[in-house]
Structure 1
Amino acid sequence: MSVYTSLSQSDTEAFLAHFELGTLVSYKGIAAGIENTNYFVTCQQQGRQSEYVLTLFEHHNNNEVREFVRLAHHLGQQGLQVPAPLAARDGEWLHSLKDKPAIICPRLPGEHIHDPQPQHCEAIGRALAELHLAALPLHNRRNDSRGFDWWVTISPELSSDLTREEQTLLEDELHFQTQQRAQWLSLPQGWIHGDLFHDNALFTADGQVGAILDLYNACDGALLYDLAIIANDWCCDINGEWKAGCVEALLNGYESVRPLNDAEKTSWNLVLRGAALRFWLSRLLTRRIQQQQAGEMALQKDPAEFKNKLLARRTVTVN
Structure 2
Amino acid sequence: MSVFTPLQEDEIREFISDYNLGDMESYQGIQGGSENTNFFVTTASSGHQQHWVLTLIERGPVDELPFFIDLLESLHTSGLSVPYALPDRHQQRIRHLKGRPALLQPCLPGEHPTCITPELSHALGVWLARMHSATENTSLNRQSDRSPQWVVTQARSLLRSHWQSHQQWLAPALDQLADWLQSPPTMPVSIIHGDLFRDNAMVSGNSINGVIDFYNAYRGWTLMDMAICVNDWCIDFDNSMQPRIQRKNIQALFSGYRTIKHLTPSESEHWLSMLQLAALRFWVSRQQSWKQQAATLEITVKDPAPFGRLFRLYRELQLSNASDADW
TM-score grouping bracket, smaller chain normalisation: 0.7 to 0.9
Question: What is the rounded CA distance, in whole Å, between the counterparts of 1:17 and 1:94 in structure 2?
Answer: 15
Question: What is the rounded CA distance, in whole Å, between the counterparts of 1:40 and 1:163 in structure 2?
Answer: 38
2:139 aligned counterpart, secondary structure = coil
Question: 2:219 — aligned with what?
Answer: 220
Cα offset, 1:228, TM superposition: 0.6
Question: What is the rounded CA distance, in whole Å, between the counterparts of 1:120 and 1:72 in structure 2?
Answer: 23
2:288 aligned counterpart, secondary structure = helix
Gap regions ≥5 residues in structure 1: none
Q: Percent sequence identity over matched residues?
A: 33
Question: 1:308 — aligned with what?
Answer: 309
Native 8 Å contact 2:86 2:105 kept in 1: yes
Residues 188-267 of structure 1 mapped to structure 2, 5 A cutoff? 188-205=188-205, 207-238=206-237, 239-267=242-270
Question: What is the rounded CA distance, in whole Å, between the counterparts of 2:37 and 2:145 in structure 1?
Answer: 24
Cα offset, 1:2, TM superposition: 4.3
Q: What is the CA RMSD across the aligned residues, in angstroms?
A: 2.9
Cα offset, 1:201, TM superposition: 0.8
1:318 aligns with 2:318: no
Question: 2:71 — aligned with what?
Answer: 71
1:186 aligned counterpart, secondary structure = coil
1:101 aligned counterpart, secondary structure = strand
Question: What is the rounded CA distance, in whole Å, between the counterparts of 1:98 and 1:17 in structure 2?
Answer: 16
Question: What is the rounded CA distance, in whole Å, between the counterparts of 2:248 and 2:220 in structure 1?
Answer: 27
Cα offset, 1:14, TM superposition: 4.0
Cα offset, 1:167, TM superposition: 1.5
Q: Go from structure 1 to structure 2 and tell me whether the alpha carbon gap of 1:169 and 1:281 turns closer, same or farther (over 3 Å shift).
A: farther
Cα offset, 1:177, TM superposition: 1.9
* Per-residue Cα deviation, 1:75-97 (whole angstroms, up to 9, x for no partner): 22322111111123443211233
Q: Go from structure 1 to structure 2 and tell me whether the alpha carbon gap of 1:192 and 1:167 turns closer, same or farther (over 3 Å shift).
A: same
Question: What is the rounded CA distance, in whole Å, between the counterparts of 1:254 and 1:94 in structure 2?
Answer: 33
Question: What is the rounded CA distance, in whole Å, between the counterparts of 2:30 and 2:136 in structure 1?
Answer: 34
Question: What is the rounded CA distance, in whole Å, between the counterparts of 1:62 and 1:216 in structure 2?
Answer: 11
* Per-residue Cα deviation, 1:260-283 (whole angstroms, up to 9, x for no partner): 122112221121122122222223
Amino acid at match of 2:264: N
Gap regions ≥5 residues in structure 2: none
Question: What is the rounded CA distance, in whole Å, between the counterparts of 2:168 and 2:296 in structure 1?
Answer: 27
Of 229-238 and 131-140, the range deviating more from structure 2:
131-140
Aligned residues: 314
Question: 1:167 — aligned with what?
Answer: 167
Residues 68-217 of structure 1 mapped to structure 2, 5 A cutoff? 68-161=68-161, 166-181=166-181, 184-205=184-205, 207-217=206-216
Q: Go from structure 1 to structure 2 and tell me whether the alpha carbon gap of 1:103 and 1:288 turns closer, same or farther (over 3 Å shift).
A: closer
Native 8 Å contact 2:185 2:266 kept in 1: no
